[in-house]
Amino acid sequence: MGTTIGIIMGSDSDLQVMSDACRVLEELDIGFETAVISAHRTPHRLISYAEQAAGRGIQIVIAGAGGAAQLPGVTAALTDLPVIGVPIRSGSLEGFDALLSIVQMPRGIPVATVAINGARNAGLLAARILALSDDAVRARIAAYREAAAAAVEEKSRRLQAAGYRDYLNEMGRRSG
């Protein structure tokens, strides 16, 4: 399993959220690497990372950042690889600042943007891009979608069988 996805984040305080991307890529058996790289604190390191990523075999970059969130946009400016931006919820604007910074890229340099804290979807989107040229990944994504559908069907069956009160109580017990 080669490393095909680069997951970068502006701070280690983003790791809790970005670990959702790591987890789903592990579930899909896709190789990835992780790094903390800040567009404003370590701009030169970001330049080296973005310029060298494709040459090292990285095919897609997932970049998470909070606040003014320049990391995904600057990365996309430095490489031809697809870049997926994850707005991280933080500070007084609770991620809305990062969402707008990332989604409102001026024309010419695209960044695909997922929801605030949507790192799991970022991982899944990266997997779907890889699946265009990898049938094994495509099969694992199909199985993942089928399992998600089956889980919903099972919940619906249990809700009908238990009734809403018992189901809610059971949910309360599960969440601790």
Residues 105/76, Cβ–Cβ less than 8 Å:
yes
Q: Does 72 bind ligand RP5 (CB under 6 A)?
A: no
What is the dihedral angle through the alpha carbons of 112, 117, 121, 124, rounded to the nearest 10 degrees? 90
Q: At what angle do helices 71-78 and 43-53 cross, to 10 degrees?
A: 50
CA dihedral sign of residues 70, 75, 81, 85 = negative
Applying CB under 6 A, among 19, 38, 42, 121 the residue interacting with ligand RP5 is 38
Query: Whole-angstrom Cα distance, residue 84 to residue 126?
Result: 8
How near is the Cβ of 76 to ligand RP5 at its closest, in Å? 16
* 13 versus 52: smaller Cβ distance to ligand RP5: 13
Residues 69/87, Cβ–Cβ less than 8 Å:
yes
Residues 22/123, Cβ–Cβ less than 8 Å:
yes
Applying CB under 6 A, among 61, 65, 125, 130 the residue interacting with ligand RP5 is 65
Stretch that binds ligand RP5, among 19-27, 59-67, 116-124, 133-141 (CB under 6 A): 59-67
* 18 versus 30: smaller Cβ distance to ligand RP5: 18
Applying CB under 6 A, among 5, 6, 14, 30 the residue interacting with ligand RP5 is 14
Q: Does 62 bind ligand RP5 (CB under 6 A)?
A: no
Query: Where along the sequence are the contacts to ligand RP5 (CB under 6 A)?
Result: 10-11, 13-14, 38, 65-67, 88, 90
